[in-house]
Amino acid sequence: MKIEKPSKPLPIQPVATEAQPRNHAAKASNTSASASVHLGQTSAQIRNMETSMASTPVVDASKVAEIKQAISEGRFQVNSGVVADRLIETVQDLIISHNNKV
């Protein structure tokens, strides 16, 4: 289905300023226009986790170098049973998560 551009431009609404309150409740109120937001402890924990994760490398470079060295020397052996088991586990997890969404 193709979404086409409207033939007429959409109307532009002016941005509200302090002189123009954004909602009707603000118009009815004669109190000062200050607001405060408290995001709570969970928000602080998430920010700390983001900071921690940003500084953590995605790949363990020393492990990659070790595996490359083992491959080049012919010492690296693939355990096909483990690979197959992990592949089956991954597919089962994907099926379960898909069924939970439906």
CA–CA separation, 54 and 73 (whole Å): 34
Count of beta carbons in the 10 Å neighbourhood of residue 42: 8
Domain boundaries, the chain: 78-102
Neighbours of 67 (CB within 10 A): 13
Residue 23 has pLDDT above 50, yes or no: yes
Distances (CA, A) of 5 to 10, 52, 93: 10, 44, 41
Please give the Cα distance from 102 to 93 (Å, whole number).
14
Average pLDDT over residues 54-60: 84
Cα separation, 84 vs 90, whole angstroms: 10
| C-alpha to C-alpha distance for 8 and 27, rounded to whole angstroms | 32
Question: Residue 1 pLDDT more than 50?
Answer: no
Q: What is the pTM of this model?
A: 0.35
Higher pLDDT, residue 23 or 94: 94
